Structure formats: structure tokens, C-alpha cells
Amino acid sequence: MRILLLADVHGNRAALEAITEPHDICLVLGDLVDYGPEPGACVDWVRRNAHAAVRGNHDHGVAQDVEVQGVGGFRFLTACTRPFSVAALSPVQRRYLADLPTSKMVNVEDKRFLLVHATPRDPMDEYAHPDPAFWAPRLAGLDLDYVCVGHTHQPYMLEVGKTTVINPGSVGLPRDGDPRAGYGIMTIDESGVSIELKRIDYPAEETVRALMATDIDESAKHTLAELYRGGPGANHLNRVAMMPTAVAS
């Protein structure tokens, strides 16, 4: 059994479609929309291909047309791309986002998985660093083999008691300084369980061209283009995003 783990696609169709890893089931950990120029294609891909998916904070915001105010960083990018994302989706696509659960239990090969975008305590918004001391109280009393999360846009894996926390990183907009699409592959077979956090190049210029063709704020478009290309401006925003007080809004 091969399980594909995806999170934080953020409207980046080219990055999503570049992930062609063979798998039996796909689990999606939220934030299909905002930032990127092709949210509809990403929602449709998940509708077709995901065995299970949960709602992220951006999915919720787009589904409910939540207005965001921000003058800098990722909050500014959210504010600039939210109206575009809402307008770009059909009513059916927005209803799909609204109907996604905020958490979901999945059993695979006798293993118990909890899927959330952020943490079990705050499924859509809490920013969780790879710190066992942070995670221990959030897993207390939960009989789980794996907790699969996204939200930070940074891949990590850690053991907390008997539970493994897996964050596959971001498909569409990584925040760890590596602009390649991130994802996870779990293999369960007779020899046991193996987990790989992987990266893959994708045609980022396709995403940039699609972005430039939108009516999104020009400053936001150029900032996003830097992020997709991994330029120096991207490194600054990524450092800001990794600060403990930052939130992936």
C-alpha cells in the first residue's frame, strides 16, 4: 500500500500535476486555494483523486468569502488573492470546500490516521512547529498511529510517544527556502512502514504566466513570482513565515 500525502496546494496546478508518484490512495491535508492562479483546477483534481481530504483555513476563507486585511507578508498576499480565488471558483467548487471536514479519521492497513490541516486542538489555524513538547499535550488521550498535518508549508516528521506526526510540506508554495513542490509517500507492506518526504521540480514558469494573466494586484503578483522562482525575495518571506509568532493566514 502506497499513500500519497499532499498539503497546501494553493492554486498551483503545475506543481500539483508534476507529482506523478505511484500510489494507491491520496490523502489531502487542506488549503487547495488562495495565492495561486488556478484554484479551480486544483479543487477539481482533489475531487477526482483524493481518498480523503480536510478543510484548511484558506479553503474555509474562500468558501465563506472571508475578507482579509494585510499590508505585508503572506497576509497581504492572502488579501490580494482572496477576491480572485472566490471569483475563479464555481458555486459547486466553493460548496465542495465548505463541505470538507475540519478533521477526519482514516483507517489504512490497520493503522489509525487523523487528518487535520493544523493541529487536533485547532484543526485549521494553529501553527505547529516540529517540537515534541508542543505536540505532546495535543496528542494526549488520542489513540493514533499517525497524525497528518499541513499549514506550516515546511516538511517534517517526528515521533511523539506512539504517534508519528507527518507534515509533507507544501505542494504549491513552500516556505523552507526550497521552491520545489513538496509531498510525502508512505509505504505499508510486509516489511513494515516507510515514510519519505520528497521534493520535485515543476514548471514554475507555467504558474508565473498564469499568475501574470490575472487581475491580482501587481505587487502581489511579482512577490508570488519570486516565491515560485525561489529568488531572494522569497527567502526573506520564508524567514518571516518561520518566526514563532507568524501565522499562515
Query: pLDDT by residue (tens digit) across 149-188?
Result: 999 999 999 999 999 999 999 999 999 999 999 999 999 9
**Is residue 245 over pLDDT 90?**
no
**Is residue 196 over pLDDT 50?**
yes
Q: Is residue 10 part of a domain?
A: yes
- Check residue 244 and report its DSSP letter: T
CATH number at residue 233: 3.60.21.10
Q: Is residue 140 part of a domain?
A: no
Q: Is residue 60 part of a domain?
A: yes
Task: Classify each residue of 114-134 as buried b or exposed e, where b means 16 or more C-beta atoms within 10 Å of its C-beta.
Answer: bbbbbbbebbbebbbeeeeeb
Region 32-49 average pLDDT? 98
Domain count for the chain: 1
Q: Is residue 75 part of a domain?
A: yes
Q: Is residue 104 part of a domain?
A: no
Please tell me the predicted confidence (pLDDT) of residue 249: 41
Q: DSSP characters for 179-233?
A: -SEEEEEEEEETTEEEEEEEEE---HHHHHHHHHTS-S-HHHHHHHHHHHHT-HH
For 107, list phi and psi in degrees, rounded to 5.
-105, 125
In the numeric block, which cell numbers belong to residue 73? Answer: 507578508
Please tell me the predicted confidence (pLDDT) of residue 113: 98
pTM greater than the 0.85 cutoff: yes
Region 39-45 average pLDDT? 98
Q: Is residue 161 part of a domain?
A: no
Q: Is residue 80 part of a domain?
A: yes
Query: What is the domain range of residue 81?
Result: 2-99+168-241
| Mean of pLDDT over the chain | 94
pLDDT tens-digit map of 210-239: 999 999 999 999 999 999 999 765 666 666
Largest CA distance in the chain: 53
Q: Is residue 46 part of a domain?
A: yes
